[in-house]
Amino acid sequence: MTASIRCWMSFLTILLIAANGDGADVIEPKNGGHIDWTEGIVSTVGLGVPPEEPSGIAGASEVKARVLASAHYNARRNLFDLLNAVRIDTNTLVKDMASRTPQVETKLREMAAGADEVEVGGEPVTEGTIAVRLQMSLYAGFAQMVLPQGIIPIDAVKSVQTPSAVAGETVERVIFTGLVVDARNVAANPALAPRIVDENDKEVYGAAFASRDFAVQYGMSSYVTDIDEIKGSYRLGERPLIVKGIKTIGPGHSDIVIGNASAVKLRKFSEHLAFLRECRVVIVLGENR
């Protein structure tokens, strides 16, 4: 790939981000595309460049067809690379899973080959160059394949006994409808299966709490950068519990630690397990990623 094409690939990635995400979206730029963690979409672009000296036999339509085929090939190759770069959890990328399980790599290639074509257009590098834009959801079949096996169907999730009060306190029975983790100041990274833990590393939310049905359809959590945009949203309901992230743990910085007092609020009533099962969790990240 020449320097000019690499430059245009970077420019097209910026255009993809501008076209797909609004100000509140969490966008993770990658070579040849990006991951939109708010919408749960991977987008990529591929370029087809005409030969410098096309064969005298090939007509203009044949040259264009070859360039278009090359653009599609490059877009799907880029998409395959992007899917491999998706963070499953703080310890694991999709490529790690694929390296251990050949069937996963095969399925990823099939998914990239069948991704939706969003746009074909432009001559951004030289005359006759074609750009093809593809996108694919992180949910549905992709999530079903890569999400941890610890995320089980909803009817198999069992209630657990939780403390009804903090020692020495009178408990006000406030039933929350969702969880917002404000992690804008802790440099957290998005992942398909994040964990929220207390200061003693005891899990408050993670694979054991989520229903696989909801996680596959909606994702275990949503990511945004504007906390005001999510108040009253369908995912959180009218009374979300808002907690502050203290720090991240794990090599991928995707697991977030919250204070013990916040964890107690979430654990007070077993009713809160219902919205955790339904993945009614939103994590707010800083804009400068």
Counting the structural domains of the chain, the total is 2
Same domain, 139 and 34: yes
Q: Are residues 13 and 48 in the same domain?
A: yes
Q: Mean pLDDT in runs of 10 for the chain (289 residues)?
A: 48 48 79 93 90 64 83 94 96 96 94 85 61 93 92 52 44 82 95 97 94 95 89 85 96 97 92 93 80
Say what the pLDDT of residue 167 is: 46
Domain boundary among 146, 167, 200: 146
pLDDT of residue 159: 41
Q: Examine the domain organization and report whether 120 and 192 are in the same domain.
A: no
Is residue 59 located within the same domain as residue 180?
no
Closest listed residue to residue 71, CA positions, set 28, 35, 124: 124
Do both 132 and 159 map to the same domain? no
pLDDT score at 121 = 62
β strands within the chain, DSSP E: 27-30, 33-36, 41-48, 87-89, 92-93, 116-121, 130-137, 178-183, 196-197, 203-205, 222-224, 240-249, 255-258, 281-285
pLDDT score for 157: 40
| 172 and 104 in a common domain | no
Give the start-end residues of each E strand in 97-239.
Answer: 116-121, 130-137, 178-183, 196-197, 203-205, 222-224
The predicted structure's pLDDT at residue 87: 97
Residue-number span of the structural domain to which 120 is assigned? 3-146
Q: Of the candidates 87, 113, 146, which is a domain's last residue?
A: 146
pLDDT of residue 123: 46
Whether 134 and 177 map to the same domain: the answer is no
Rounded CA-CA distance 180/160 in Å is 22
Last residue of a domain, one of 146, 180, 195: 146
CA distances from 1 to 46, 74, 113, 133, 263 (A): 12, 11, 22, 18, 51
